[in-house]
Amino acid sequence: MNKDTYNFFLYRLNKEIRSDLFSGHARQRKSDDEWLEEYLKTLCQAKHDYTKETRKSIYKWALRNYRRLGDGISSVVLARSTLQKTSTTVTEDALAVGDSISTPPPADTIILLIYWSRHIVVVENRSGMTTGETWLRYFHEPVPIAPRFEPIPVKGTILDHLKTLDRVFRFRVRLKLPNPELNRWAEKIYNEMVEERIQEYLQEFNSQEGLKVNEESKAYSSAALAELGYKEGGVQIDGEKDGKPIHIVEGKTAIRGKIDQLHALIRGLETNASGKMLPHALDQIKQEIDRLFPHEG
């Protein structure tokens, strides 16, 4: 039996503040979520398409079909068209290496679902499209507050290192001011960021003797915030285990999920198709998100 499995990753929707693009009082007339939504709608215009050249191919990345689906979820489609590809071609009497050009160019796509109340992005897992970080680089800055997608790590992948290493000599993380969706450890750093009006917080702790990393420490609170996805890039930890030096980079791999019998339905959003089963499918997705990544607030 075909399970029609829908595979996905969970990313955090963070705010990327662009102070050089602020227009004074204009920002005050909109909430952050309204700015983020406008950003996504703006990127769906052809003038914001992005061309990427590699050694053998030329691709065009484009965002299209932003829509509100209901129940606090929106969808948008990210497409990668192959404009030109250098490959082996078959001639009448031989094989040759040449450039292939198709008109219109074929496109591969991934569906992004935005779960607004939790600021979580459900990214369809498609081989070749979500491998690496090229798709993430597409999102750029036409409006003052832009979204930044950060992988939500599996619970414990960062904090467990602080607990299990014999000593931690260095801990480095770049934090983002969260939604907030917090646990009791992350709340400590969040309150500090709000009080000091900090939107982005680059922290690097160093100690030749070994850092304090218990649950009351600043490093632990920062790691807890990073583990919720409120960060930029990976978290770097240098320490020692059983007398051996350890270097760790965590937080760049997102939680994976899957739901049977939903793949075809979600793929239909590529062309704005929907049906009577869509509300039920969205409810299933929200339940699975809450199971994989429970709200701790």
Average pLDDT over residues 175-191: 82
| Residue tagged 């994976």 (tokens) | 256
On the 0-12 / 13-18 / 19+ scale of CB atoms within 10 A, 46 is: exposed
pLDDT of 140: 57
* Least confident range of 99-103, 123-127, 160-164, 213-217: 99-103
Residue 233: inside a domain: yes
138 with 213, same domain: the answer is no
Question: pLDDT, tens digit, for every residue of 195-214?
Answer: 888 888 899 999 999 999 99
CB 17 within 8 A of CB 179: no
CA–CA dist 42, 143 (Å, integer) = 8
139 with 45, same domain: the answer is yes
pLDDT of 24: 47
pLDDT beyond 80 at 144: no
pTM of the model: 0.87
Q: How many domains does the chain have?
A: 2
CB 168 within 8 A of CB 214: no
pLDDT of 5: 93
Range of the domain at 172: 159-250
pLDDT category, 23, cuts 50, 70, 90? very low
Residue 12: inside a domain: yes
246 with 286, same domain: the answer is no
Which tokens is 275 given? 């049906």
Residue 1: inside a domain: no
Host H or E run for residue 224: helix 218-227
Residue 297: inside a domain: no
110 with 228, same domain: the answer is no
pLDDT of 25: 43
260 with 273, same domain: the answer is yes
Which of 160, 155, 181, 178 shows the shortest CA–CA distance to 293? Answer: 155
67 with 192, same domain: the answer is no
pLDDT beyond 60 at 159: yes
178 with 267, same domain: the answer is no
Which of 188, 231, 239, 189 shows the shortest CA–CA distance to 211? Answer: 239
113 with 216, same domain: the answer is no
pLDDT of 206: 96
Which tokens is 289 given? 């998100």
pLDDT category, 260, cuts 50, 70, 90? very high
225 with 276, same domain: the answer is no
Q: How many CA atoms lie within 13 A of 229 on its CB side?
A: 26
Which of 128, 94, 80, 131 shows the shortest CA–CA distance to 254? Answer: 131
Average pLDDT over residues 143-155: 80
Which of 255, 257, 235 shows the shortest CA–CA distance to 155? Answer: 255
Q: Check residues 118 and 188 and name the one with the higher pLDDT.
A: 118
**Mean pLDDT score of the chain:** 86
91 with 231, same domain: the answer is no
